[in-house]
Structure 1
Protein backbone atom coordinates (compact mmCIF):
# COMPACT_ATOMS: atom_id res chain seq x y z
CA UNK A 1 0.00 0.00 0.00
CA UNK A 2 1.15 3.53 -0.72
CA UNK A 3 0.81 6.44 1.68
CA UNK A 4 1.14 10.18 1.18
CA UNK A 5 2.42 12.14 4.16
CA UNK A 6 2.35 15.88 4.83
CA UNK A 7 5.14 17.53 6.81
CA UNK A 8 6.46 20.92 7.92
CA UNK A 9 10.07 21.63 8.76
CA UNK A 10 12.58 24.33 9.58
CA UNK A 11 15.53 23.77 7.27
CA UNK A 12 18.23 25.57 9.26
CA UNK A 13 19.91 22.45 10.65
CA UNK A 14 19.68 20.33 7.50
CA UNK A 15 21.77 20.04 4.34
CA UNK A 16 18.52 20.08 2.35
CA UNK A 17 15.73 17.64 1.63
CA UNK A 18 17.69 15.01 -0.28
CA UNK A 19 20.16 12.59 1.29
CA UNK A 20 23.73 13.89 1.10
CA UNK A 21 27.07 12.29 2.05
CA UNK A 22 28.24 15.44 3.85
CA UNK A 23 25.34 16.31 6.13
CA UNK A 24 22.03 15.37 7.71
CA UNK A 25 19.02 15.74 5.42
CA UNK A 26 15.29 15.89 6.11
CA UNK A 27 14.86 12.73 4.03
CA UNK A 28 17.44 10.85 6.09
CA UNK A 29 15.75 11.72 9.38
CA UNK A 30 12.29 10.75 8.11
CA UNK A 31 13.44 7.43 6.64
CA UNK A 32 15.25 6.57 9.85
CA UNK A 33 12.29 7.38 12.13
CA UNK A 34 9.76 5.68 9.84
CA UNK A 35 11.90 2.54 9.77
CA UNK A 36 12.05 2.54 13.57
CA UNK A 37 8.31 3.05 13.97
CA UNK A 38 7.21 0.55 11.31
CA UNK A 39 10.00 -1.94 12.09
CA UNK A 40 11.16 -2.34 8.51
CA UNK A 41 13.29 -0.36 6.09
CA UNK A 42 11.27 2.51 4.64
CA UNK A 43 12.33 4.65 1.69
CA UNK A 44 10.49 7.84 0.82
CA UNK A 45 10.08 10.03 -2.28
CA UNK A 46 9.60 13.76 -1.76
CA UNK A 47 7.57 16.26 -3.74
CA UNK A 48 10.64 18.44 -4.37
CA UNK A 49 14.24 18.96 -3.28
CA UNK A 50 14.70 22.02 -1.10
CA UNK A 51 18.25 23.32 -0.59
CA UNK A 52 20.11 23.61 2.69
CA UNK A 53 18.49 26.14 5.00
CA UNK A 54 15.18 26.30 3.10
CA UNK A 55 12.00 25.76 5.13
CA UNK A 56 8.69 24.06 4.31
CA UNK A 57 5.26 25.07 5.58
CA UNK A 58 3.56 22.24 3.73
CA UNK A 59 5.52 19.53 1.94
CA UNK A 60 4.70 15.95 0.95
CA UNK A 61 6.34 12.59 0.40
CA UNK A 62 5.12 9.08 -0.36
CA UNK A 63 6.20 5.69 0.92
CA UNK A 64 5.12 2.06 0.60
CA UNK A 65 4.06 -0.07 3.55
CA UNK A 66 2.05 -3.28 3.22
CA UNK A 67 -0.11 -2.79 6.32
CA UNK A 68 -2.47 -0.26 7.80
CA UNK A 69 -0.65 2.41 9.74
CA UNK A 70 -0.84 2.07 13.54
CA UNK A 71 -3.51 4.12 15.29
CA UNK A 72 -0.84 6.08 17.15
CA UNK A 73 1.25 6.66 14.01
CA UNK A 74 1.19 10.48 13.99
CA UNK A 75 1.70 10.80 17.73
CA UNK A 76 4.56 8.29 17.81
CA UNK A 77 6.29 9.73 14.76
CA UNK A 78 6.21 13.26 16.14
CA UNK A 79 7.63 11.94 19.38
CA UNK A 80 10.50 10.34 17.44
CA UNK A 81 11.14 13.29 15.12
CA UNK A 82 13.33 16.26 16.14
CA UNK A 83 11.71 19.56 17.09
CA UNK A 84 12.23 21.07 13.63
CA UNK A 85 10.24 18.43 11.69
CA UNK A 86 6.51 17.86 12.20
CA UNK A 87 4.42 15.13 10.57
CA UNK A 88 0.95 16.58 9.88
CA UNK A 89 -0.90 13.78 8.14
CA UNK A 90 -0.57 10.42 6.40
CA UNK A 91 -3.26 9.05 4.08
CA UNK A 92 -3.68 6.02 1.86
CA UNK A 93 -3.42 6.83 -1.87
CA UNK A 94 -3.46 4.95 -5.18
CA UNK A 95 -0.52 2.63 -5.73
CA UNK A 96 0.67 4.71 -8.72
CA UNK A 97 0.63 8.04 -6.87
CA UNK A 98 3.92 9.95 -7.07
CA UNK A 99 4.60 12.84 -4.69
CA UNK A 100 6.83 14.66 -7.17
CA UNK A 101 5.45 13.87 -10.62
CA UNK A 102 1.77 14.17 -9.68
CA UNK A 103 2.17 17.68 -8.25
CA UNK A 104 0.17 20.20 -10.31
CA UNK A 105 1.44 23.39 -8.67
CA UNK A 106 4.17 24.43 -6.27
CA UNK A 107 4.15 27.67 -4.27
CA UNK A 108 6.97 29.48 -2.47
CA UNK A 109 7.28 32.52 -0.21
CA UNK A 110 10.45 34.53 0.33
CA UNK A 111 10.53 36.65 3.50
CA UNK A 112 12.66 39.74 4.12
CA UNK A 113 12.79 42.23 6.98
CA UNK A 114 14.53 45.59 7.23
CA UNK A 115 14.44 46.03 10.99
CA UNK A 116 16.87 43.95 13.04
CA UNK A 117 14.99 41.28 14.95
CA UNK A 118 16.76 38.37 16.72
CA UNK A 119 13.54 36.35 16.69
CA UNK A 120 13.58 36.28 12.89
CA UNK A 121 17.11 34.87 12.69
CA UNK A 122 17.25 32.02 10.14
CA UNK A 123 13.52 32.52 9.43
CA UNK A 124 13.73 35.65 7.27
CA UNK A 125 16.46 37.52 5.35
CA UNK A 126 17.62 40.61 7.25
CA UNK A 127 18.07 43.24 4.54
CA UNK A 128 18.31 46.82 5.91
CA UNK A 129 18.41 48.27 2.37
CA UNK A 130 14.81 47.13 1.87
CA UNK A 131 13.66 50.69 2.67
CA UNK A 132 15.52 51.95 -0.41
CA UNK A 133 13.92 49.47 -2.82
CA UNK A 134 11.49 50.96 -5.34
CA UNK A 135 8.29 48.95 -4.84
CA UNK A 136 6.91 49.93 -8.26
CA UNK A 137 9.99 48.44 -9.91
CA UNK A 138 9.51 45.21 -7.93
CA UNK A 139 5.95 44.99 -9.23
CA UNK A 140 7.04 45.81 -12.79
CA UNK A 141 9.65 43.04 -12.66
CA UNK A 142 7.02 40.61 -11.36
CA UNK A 143 4.85 41.32 -14.42
CA UNK A 144 7.79 40.65 -16.75
CA UNK A 145 8.54 37.35 -15.02
CA UNK A 146 4.87 36.36 -15.33
CA UNK A 147 4.91 36.99 -19.10
CA UNK A 148 7.75 34.55 -19.76
CA UNK A 149 8.16 30.77 -19.87
CA UNK A 150 11.87 30.13 -20.59
CA UNK A 151 13.92 30.59 -17.40
CA UNK A 152 17.44 29.65 -18.47
CA UNK A 153 18.91 32.87 -16.92
CA UNK A 154 17.36 31.97 -13.55
CA UNK A 155 18.70 28.48 -13.07
CA UNK A 156 21.83 27.49 -11.18
CA UNK A 157 24.67 26.36 -13.40
CA UNK A 158 25.35 22.63 -13.83
CA UNK A 159 21.62 21.87 -13.77
CA UNK A 160 20.84 18.68 -15.70
CA UNK A 161 17.15 19.30 -16.45
CA UNK A 162 16.06 18.80 -20.06
CA UNK A 163 13.87 21.89 -20.31
CA UNK A 164 13.92 25.31 -18.67
CA UNK A 165 10.23 25.99 -19.36
CA UNK A 166 8.13 26.90 -16.30
CA UNK A 167 4.51 28.04 -16.31
CA UNK A 168 4.08 30.75 -13.67
CA UNK A 169 0.55 30.88 -12.26
CA UNK A 170 0.98 33.71 -9.78
CA UNK A 171 3.71 36.12 -8.71
CA UNK A 172 3.42 39.17 -6.46
CA UNK A 173 4.93 41.13 -3.56
CA UNK A 174 3.28 41.90 -0.22
CA UNK A 175 4.58 44.95 1.65
CA UNK A 176 4.16 45.52 5.40
CA UNK A 177 5.65 49.00 5.64
CA UNK A 178 4.81 49.43 9.33
CA UNK A 179 7.04 46.51 10.33
CA UNK A 180 9.52 46.75 7.43
CA UNK A 181 8.59 43.25 6.24
CA UNK A 182 8.36 42.19 2.60
CA UNK A 183 7.10 38.89 1.19
CA UNK A 184 7.57 37.58 -2.33
CA UNK A 185 4.99 35.00 -3.46
CA UNK A 186 5.32 32.77 -6.52
CA UNK A 187 3.47 29.71 -7.84
CA UNK A 188 4.22 27.57 -10.89
CA UNK A 189 3.88 24.08 -12.27
CA UNK A 190 7.60 23.54 -11.67
CA UNK A 191 10.75 25.40 -10.63
CA UNK A 192 14.36 25.15 -11.70
CA UNK A 193 17.21 24.70 -9.24
CA UNK A 194 17.80 27.97 -7.39
CA UNK A 195 15.18 29.76 -9.49
CA UNK A 196 13.18 31.51 -6.76
CA UNK A 197 16.22 32.90 -4.95
CA UNK A 198 17.69 34.19 -8.23
CA UNK A 199 14.39 35.86 -9.14
CA UNK A 200 14.18 37.56 -5.74
CA UNK A 201 17.82 38.67 -5.94
CA UNK A 202 17.34 40.11 -9.43
CA UNK A 203 14.16 41.91 -8.37
CA UNK A 204 15.96 43.57 -5.47
CA UNK A 205 18.82 44.61 -7.76
CA UNK A 206 16.33 46.26 -10.10
CA UNK A 207 14.50 47.87 -7.18
CA UNK A 208 17.75 49.34 -5.85
CA UNK A 209 18.72 50.69 -9.27
CA UNK A 210 21.78 48.44 -9.56
CA UNK A 211 20.42 47.11 -12.85
CA UNK A 212 17.90 48.63 -15.25
CA UNK A 213 14.60 46.80 -15.75
CA UNK A 214 15.24 46.72 -19.50
CA UNK A 215 18.06 44.26 -18.83
CA UNK A 216 15.47 41.78 -17.57
CA UNK A 217 13.55 41.94 -20.84
CA UNK A 218 16.79 41.51 -22.79
CA UNK A 219 17.83 38.58 -20.61
CA UNK A 220 14.60 36.76 -21.41
CA UNK A 221 14.94 37.60 -25.11
CA UNK A 222 18.50 36.23 -25.37
CA UNK A 223 18.25 33.66 -22.53
CA UNK A 224 21.57 34.98 -21.22
CA UNK A 225 22.41 35.66 -17.55
CA UNK A 226 21.99 39.09 -16.02
CA UNK A 227 25.07 41.27 -15.54
CA UNK A 228 24.74 41.09 -11.73
CA UNK A 229 22.95 37.86 -10.78
CA UNK A 230 22.32 37.45 -7.06
CA UNK A 231 20.97 34.41 -5.27
CA UNK A 232 19.54 35.64 -1.96
CA UNK A 233 20.23 33.56 1.19
CA UNK A 234 18.26 30.37 1.78
CA UNK A 235 16.99 31.40 5.21
CA UNK A 236 14.13 33.51 3.81
CA UNK A 237 12.71 30.84 1.49
CA UNK A 238 9.68 28.71 2.36
CA UNK A 239 7.97 26.00 0.36
CA UNK A 240 4.39 27.13 0.97
CA UNK A 241 2.21 24.49 -0.64
CA UNK A 242 1.93 21.68 -3.16
CA UNK A 243 -1.31 21.11 -5.07
CA UNK A 244 -2.45 17.78 -6.47
CA UNK A 245 -5.34 17.06 -8.82
CA UNK A 246 -7.32 15.08 -6.25
Structure 2
Protein backbone atom coordinates (compact mmCIF):
# COMPACT_ATOMS: atom_id res chain seq x y z
CA UNK A 1 0.00 0.00 0.00
CA UNK A 2 0.99 3.59 -0.37
CA UNK A 3 2.40 5.33 2.72
CA UNK A 4 1.40 8.98 2.64
CA UNK A 5 2.23 12.00 4.75
CA UNK A 6 -0.13 14.42 6.45
CA UNK A 7 1.07 18.00 6.37
CA UNK A 8 -0.04 20.97 8.49
CA UNK A 9 1.10 24.57 8.30
CA UNK A 10 1.00 27.88 10.10
CA UNK A 11 -0.67 30.34 7.76
CA UNK A 12 1.46 33.29 8.74
CA UNK A 13 4.70 31.51 7.94
CA UNK A 14 3.48 31.25 4.35
CA UNK A 15 2.37 34.86 4.25
CA UNK A 16 5.35 36.59 5.80
CA UNK A 17 7.98 34.64 3.88
CA UNK A 18 6.86 35.95 0.49
CA UNK A 19 8.52 39.37 0.72
CA UNK A 20 11.74 37.78 1.96
CA UNK A 21 11.94 35.51 -1.07
CA UNK A 22 11.21 38.44 -3.35
CA UNK A 23 13.96 40.59 -1.86
CA UNK A 24 16.50 37.79 -2.06
CA UNK A 25 15.68 37.16 -5.71
CA UNK A 26 16.04 40.81 -6.62
CA UNK A 27 19.31 41.18 -4.70
CA UNK A 28 20.84 37.79 -5.45
CA UNK A 29 24.32 39.12 -6.12
CA UNK A 30 24.68 41.20 -2.97
CA UNK A 31 22.08 40.04 -0.43
CA UNK A 32 23.76 38.47 2.56
CA UNK A 33 22.53 35.76 4.89
CA UNK A 34 22.82 38.13 7.85
CA UNK A 35 20.51 40.60 6.06
CA UNK A 36 17.83 37.94 5.60
CA UNK A 37 18.13 36.77 9.21
CA UNK A 38 17.75 40.35 10.38
CA UNK A 39 14.72 40.90 8.16
CA UNK A 40 13.13 37.69 9.45
CA UNK A 41 13.52 38.97 12.99
CA UNK A 42 11.82 42.24 12.02
CA UNK A 43 8.83 40.63 10.30
CA UNK A 44 6.73 40.28 13.48
CA UNK A 45 6.93 44.07 13.86
CA UNK A 46 6.02 44.96 10.26
CA UNK A 47 3.41 42.34 9.37
CA UNK A 48 -0.16 41.94 10.73
CA UNK A 49 0.49 38.62 12.45
CA UNK A 50 -2.03 39.08 15.27
CA UNK A 51 -4.79 40.21 12.95
CA UNK A 52 -4.22 37.37 10.52
CA UNK A 53 -4.22 34.76 13.28
CA UNK A 54 -7.36 36.27 14.80
CA UNK A 55 -9.02 35.96 11.39
CA UNK A 56 -8.35 32.21 11.53
CA UNK A 57 -10.20 31.97 14.84
CA UNK A 58 -7.43 32.31 17.41
CA UNK A 59 -8.43 34.39 20.41
CA UNK A 60 -7.40 35.07 23.99
CA UNK A 61 -4.50 33.01 25.31
CA UNK A 62 -4.46 30.86 22.17
CA UNK A 63 -3.98 33.96 20.04
CA UNK A 64 -1.06 34.99 22.24
CA UNK A 65 0.43 31.50 21.89
CA UNK A 66 0.10 31.49 18.10
CA UNK A 67 1.69 34.92 17.71
CA UNK A 68 4.51 34.02 20.11
CA UNK A 69 5.15 30.77 18.20
CA UNK A 70 5.60 32.59 14.91
CA UNK A 71 7.84 35.21 16.51
CA UNK A 72 10.16 32.68 18.13
CA UNK A 73 10.35 30.64 14.92
CA UNK A 74 11.39 33.68 12.92
CA UNK A 75 13.83 34.95 15.54
CA UNK A 76 15.52 31.69 16.48
CA UNK A 77 19.10 31.81 15.12
CA UNK A 78 19.16 28.18 13.98
CA UNK A 79 15.79 28.31 12.23
CA UNK A 80 16.25 31.77 10.73
CA UNK A 81 19.72 30.88 9.51
CA UNK A 82 18.43 27.77 7.76
CA UNK A 83 15.54 29.69 6.19
CA UNK A 84 17.99 32.33 4.97
CA UNK A 85 20.12 29.65 3.31
CA UNK A 86 17.04 28.28 1.56
CA UNK A 87 15.90 31.71 0.42
CA UNK A 88 19.33 32.39 -1.09
CA UNK A 89 19.41 28.96 -2.75
CA UNK A 90 15.90 29.39 -4.16
CA UNK A 91 16.88 32.72 -5.72
CA UNK A 92 19.58 31.15 -7.88
CA UNK A 93 18.62 30.29 -11.45
CA UNK A 94 20.10 26.81 -11.08
CA UNK A 95 17.80 25.95 -8.17
CA UNK A 96 14.11 25.24 -8.71
CA UNK A 97 11.85 27.83 -7.11
CA UNK A 98 10.49 26.81 -3.70
CA UNK A 99 7.10 27.68 -2.22
CA UNK A 100 7.47 30.16 0.63
CA UNK A 101 6.05 27.75 3.17
CA UNK A 102 8.46 25.11 1.92
CA UNK A 103 11.30 27.09 3.43
CA UNK A 104 9.95 26.42 6.94
CA UNK A 105 8.15 23.09 7.04
CA UNK A 106 11.03 20.93 5.82
CA UNK A 107 12.76 21.80 9.09
CA UNK A 108 9.92 20.29 11.11
CA UNK A 109 9.84 17.26 8.82
CA UNK A 110 13.61 16.77 9.13
CA UNK A 111 13.51 17.04 12.90
CA UNK A 112 10.53 14.88 13.80
CA UNK A 113 12.53 11.65 13.91
CA UNK A 114 14.83 13.12 16.58
CA UNK A 115 11.99 13.75 19.04
CA UNK A 116 11.49 11.58 22.09
CA UNK A 117 8.97 8.77 21.41
CA UNK A 118 6.25 10.37 23.54
CA UNK A 119 6.74 13.73 21.83
CA UNK A 120 6.57 12.18 18.37
CA UNK A 121 3.42 10.29 19.32
CA UNK A 122 1.85 13.46 20.74
CA UNK A 123 2.67 15.39 17.56
CA UNK A 124 0.91 12.81 15.40
CA UNK A 125 -2.06 12.55 17.74
CA UNK A 126 -2.62 16.27 17.34
CA UNK A 127 -2.32 15.89 13.57
CA UNK A 128 -4.78 12.99 13.79
CA UNK A 129 -7.25 15.22 15.65
CA UNK A 130 -6.77 17.99 13.12
CA UNK A 131 -7.33 15.62 10.21
CA UNK A 132 -10.58 14.45 11.77
CA UNK A 133 -11.70 18.05 12.26
CA UNK A 134 -11.05 19.15 8.67
CA UNK A 135 -14.07 19.45 6.37
CA UNK A 136 -14.39 16.29 4.27
CA UNK A 137 -13.46 17.90 0.95
CA UNK A 138 -10.34 19.56 2.34
CA UNK A 139 -9.46 16.40 4.24
CA UNK A 140 -9.70 14.32 1.06
CA UNK A 141 -7.64 16.76 -0.97
CA UNK A 142 -5.04 16.79 1.82
CA UNK A 143 -4.71 13.00 1.74
CA UNK A 144 -4.40 13.15 -2.04
CA UNK A 145 -1.78 15.91 -1.57
CA UNK A 146 -3.77 18.11 -3.94
CA UNK A 147 -4.81 20.91 -1.59
CA UNK A 148 -2.82 24.07 -2.48
CA UNK A 149 -0.43 25.05 0.34
CA UNK A 150 -2.19 28.35 1.08
CA UNK A 151 -5.59 26.63 1.40
CA UNK A 152 -4.14 23.84 3.52
CA UNK A 153 -2.47 26.38 5.77
CA UNK A 154 -5.69 28.30 6.32
CA UNK A 155 -7.74 25.14 6.83
CA UNK A 156 -5.38 23.63 9.37
CA UNK A 157 -4.96 27.04 11.02
CA UNK A 158 -8.71 27.21 11.63
CA UNK A 159 -8.64 23.71 13.11
CA UNK A 160 -5.63 24.49 15.29
CA UNK A 161 -7.48 27.52 16.66
CA UNK A 162 -10.08 25.12 18.08
CA UNK A 163 -7.58 23.00 20.03
CA UNK A 164 -7.69 23.47 23.78
CA UNK A 165 -5.00 25.74 25.17
CA UNK A 166 -2.81 23.07 26.87
CA UNK A 167 -2.84 20.92 23.72
CA UNK A 168 -1.92 23.86 21.51
CA UNK A 169 0.88 24.90 23.85
CA UNK A 170 2.39 21.41 23.91
CA UNK A 171 2.01 21.01 20.13
CA UNK A 172 3.83 24.30 19.56
CA UNK A 173 6.60 23.29 21.98
CA UNK A 174 7.18 20.04 20.13
CA UNK A 175 6.91 21.72 16.73
CA UNK A 176 9.55 24.28 17.69
CA UNK A 177 11.84 21.57 19.05
CA UNK A 178 11.47 19.57 15.82
CA UNK A 179 12.23 22.65 13.71
CA UNK A 180 15.46 23.31 15.64
CA UNK A 181 16.49 19.67 15.25
CA UNK A 182 15.76 19.93 11.53
CA UNK A 183 17.92 23.03 11.25
CA UNK A 184 20.90 21.43 12.95
CA UNK A 185 20.79 17.67 12.28
CA UNK A 186 20.48 15.23 9.42
CA UNK A 187 17.22 13.35 8.99
CA UNK A 188 16.79 10.44 11.41
CA UNK A 189 16.33 7.26 9.43
CA UNK A 190 15.62 3.68 10.31
CA UNK A 191 18.04 0.98 9.25
CA UNK A 192 17.06 -1.01 6.17
CA UNK A 193 15.74 -3.98 8.16
CA UNK A 194 13.91 -1.75 10.64
CA UNK A 195 12.28 0.11 7.77
CA UNK A 196 10.99 -3.12 6.25
CA UNK A 197 9.65 -4.26 9.63
CA UNK A 198 8.02 -0.88 10.27
CA UNK A 199 6.23 -0.97 6.92
CA UNK A 200 5.09 -4.53 7.65
CA UNK A 201 3.73 -3.63 11.09
CA UNK A 202 1.87 -0.65 9.62
CA UNK A 203 0.29 -2.91 7.00
CA UNK A 204 -0.59 -5.46 9.68
CA UNK A 205 -2.24 -2.84 11.90
CA UNK A 206 -4.13 -1.42 8.95
CA UNK A 207 -5.24 -4.87 7.84
CA UNK A 208 -6.66 -5.62 11.29
CA UNK A 209 -8.53 -2.34 11.27
CA UNK A 210 -9.96 -2.86 7.78
CA UNK A 211 -11.08 -6.39 8.67
CA UNK A 212 -13.56 -4.93 11.19
CA UNK A 213 -15.17 -2.55 8.70
CA UNK A 214 -17.88 -3.19 6.12
CA UNK A 215 -16.11 -0.81 3.74
CA UNK A 216 -12.70 -2.39 4.33
CA UNK A 217 -12.32 -3.72 0.77
CA UNK A 218 -13.28 -0.34 -0.72
CA UNK A 219 -10.76 1.42 1.49
CA UNK A 220 -8.03 -1.00 0.51
CA UNK A 221 -8.74 -0.24 -3.14
CA UNK A 222 -8.58 3.46 -2.29
CA UNK A 223 -5.10 3.11 -0.80
CA UNK A 224 -3.87 1.64 -4.08
CA UNK A 225 -5.03 4.67 -6.08
CA UNK A 226 -6.11 7.63 -3.99
CA UNK A 227 -6.20 9.94 -6.99
CA UNK A 228 -9.19 8.11 -8.47
CA UNK A 229 -11.46 7.98 -5.43
CA UNK A 230 -13.79 10.65 -4.12
CA UNK A 231 -12.60 13.15 -1.55
CA UNK A 232 -14.91 11.54 0.97
CA UNK A 233 -13.37 8.11 0.41
CA UNK A 234 -9.82 9.50 0.47
CA UNK A 235 -10.55 11.35 3.69
CA UNK A 236 -11.93 8.24 5.34
CA UNK A 237 -8.96 6.23 4.13
CA UNK A 238 -6.57 8.75 5.67
CA UNK A 239 -8.40 8.83 8.98
CA UNK A 240 -8.54 5.04 9.20
CA UNK A 241 -4.84 4.83 8.33
CA UNK A 242 -3.85 7.22 11.10
CA UNK A 243 -6.12 5.47 13.60
CA UNK A 244 -4.48 2.16 12.73
CA UNK A 245 -0.95 3.49 13.09
CA UNK A 246 -1.67 5.23 16.37
CA UNK A 247 -3.25 2.07 17.78
CA UNK A 248 0.24 0.57 17.84
CA UNK A 249 2.42 0.73 20.93
CA UNK A 250 6.00 0.92 22.11
CA UNK A 251 8.93 0.56 19.74
CA UNK A 252 6.70 -0.57 16.88
CA UNK A 253 4.74 2.68 17.10
CA UNK A 254 7.86 4.82 17.35
CA UNK A 255 9.50 3.16 14.35
CA UNK A 256 6.28 3.49 12.35
CA UNK A 257 6.11 7.21 13.11
CA UNK A 258 9.78 7.71 12.25
CA UNK A 259 9.10 5.99 8.92
CA UNK A 260 6.13 8.29 8.26
CA UNK A 261 8.25 11.28 9.26
CA UNK A 262 11.05 10.60 6.77
CA UNK A 263 10.93 13.31 4.05
TM over 0.5: no
Q: Which has the higher helix share?
A: 2
Which has the bigger relative contact order, CA under 8 A and spacing at least 6? Answer: 2
TM-score calculated relative to the size of structure 2? 0.29
